[in-house]
């Protein structure tokens, strides 16, 4: 593995005001608890800091990767080259505008958006109960359930490009579909978004619906285990978890990685799992499901880094 260029490190430390760590283990920054080191992990708290950092990375030809909550992410054991950016500060703010618009930074947690929607009696986000990630990550994959996705709520998305320029993208141009969107745009980083959430009617118990959804997830998913959420997308008209269950794979392990006994579409880090363990288990699941049902499971979790 090549060491990050010292000239870049020196410039970074002299010009960037945020927190920087070199050779930082990414297993400490993902819900899976898996992943090799980032050449450089930088915490960015403002748009000015972000522009400074991406300009510097561009000058030294360093690749940039945006790390959210790390909750739908599998980092390979060799880690990630270049600069891994974790947004914080102003990028984690959430506020209500014009009564029914939720304006939020891309680093804001989905749970924070839900709390704000409850406080202001805004509806439409209840389906996201229990989703552990950030708004930015949720937008990129159109996070949600089999029936609903966050893309349906998006009015606009703000991005900054690698040359420092800014743009606002209309939600109806972002091609949201099941676990897909055209975000982030090439060379762009999501900085914030505005969601349209209607006001609840008199007597509508939003909190009760959210509580019901959370308890359902708690019963049916291994929320208290280390995982990256659902590993595979649901095939059209089917449930990936049900297919994995029918294939007899619940509880199957490779190394420290195990198919959850609670939900077949979750792989948990049972004890010191590596990315290699998870990838081998994913391949076994694909093979067994294809042999049993003739269906090819498409990966939902984002796999990044070097092996």
CB-based contacts of 120, cutoff 8 Å, min separation 6: 96, 99
Q: Could you give the CA distance from residue 60 to residue 62 in angstroms, rounded to a whole number?
A: 6
Q: What DSSP letter does each residue of 80-137 carry, written as one string?
A: EEEEEEEE-GGGG-EEEETTTEEEEETTSBHHHHHHHHHHTTB-S-GGGTT--SBHHH
179 is catalytic: yes
Place of tokens 């006994």: 261
Residues for the chain: how many in total?
307
182 is catalytic: no
| Catalytic site residue from 40, 140, 230, 275 | 230
24 is catalytic: no
Instruction: Tell me if 191 sits within 8 A of 158, measured CB to CB.
Output: yes
Q: Which of 150, 151, 191 is nearest to 167 (CA)?
A: 191
| Catalytic site residue from 45, 51, 86, 179 | 179
CB-based contacts of 216, cutoff 8 Å, min separation 6: none
Give how far the C-alpha of residue 76 lies from the chain's centroid of Cα atoms, to the nearest Å: 16
Task: Cite the active site residues.
Answer: 179, 230, 300
């Amino acid at each position: 593995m090549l060491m990050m260029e010292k000239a870049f490190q020196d410039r970074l430390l002299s010009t960037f005001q945020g927190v920087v760590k070199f050779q930082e283990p990414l297993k400490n920054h993902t819900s899976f608890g898996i992943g090799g080191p980032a050449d450089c992990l930088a915490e960015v708290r403002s748009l000015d800091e972000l522009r400074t950092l991406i300009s510097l990375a561009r000058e030294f030809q360093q690749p940039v990767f945006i790390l959210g909550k790390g909750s739908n992410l599998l980092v390979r054991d060799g880690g990630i080259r270049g600069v891994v950016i974790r947004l914080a500060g102003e990028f984690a703010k959430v506020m209500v505008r014009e009564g029914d618009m939720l304006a939020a930074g891309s680093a804001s947690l989905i749970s924070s958006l839900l709390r704000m929607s409850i406080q202001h009696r805004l509806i439409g986000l209840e389906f996201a109960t229990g989703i552990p990630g950030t708004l930015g990550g949720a937008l990129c994959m159109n996070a949600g359930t089999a029936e609903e996705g966050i893309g349906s709520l998006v009015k606009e998305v703000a991005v900054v490009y690698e040359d420092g320029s800014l743009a606002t993208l209309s939600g109806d141009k972002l091609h949201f579909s099941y676990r897909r969107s055209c975000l982030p745009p090439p060379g762009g980083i999501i900085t914030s978004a505005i969601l349209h959430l209607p006001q609840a009617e008199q007597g509508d118990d939003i909190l009760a619906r959210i509580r019901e959804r959370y308890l359902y997830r708690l019963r049916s998913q291994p929320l208290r285990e280390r995982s990256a959420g659902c590993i595979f997308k649901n095939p059209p008209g089917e449930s990936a978890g049900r297919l994995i269950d029918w294939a007899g794979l619940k509880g199957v392990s490779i190394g420290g990685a195990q198919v959850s006994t609670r939900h077949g579409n979750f792989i948990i880090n049972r004890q010191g799992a590596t990315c290699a363990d998870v990838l081998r288990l994913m391949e076994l699941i694909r093979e067994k499901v294809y042999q049993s049902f003739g269906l090819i499971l498409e990966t939902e979790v984002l796999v990044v880094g070097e092996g």
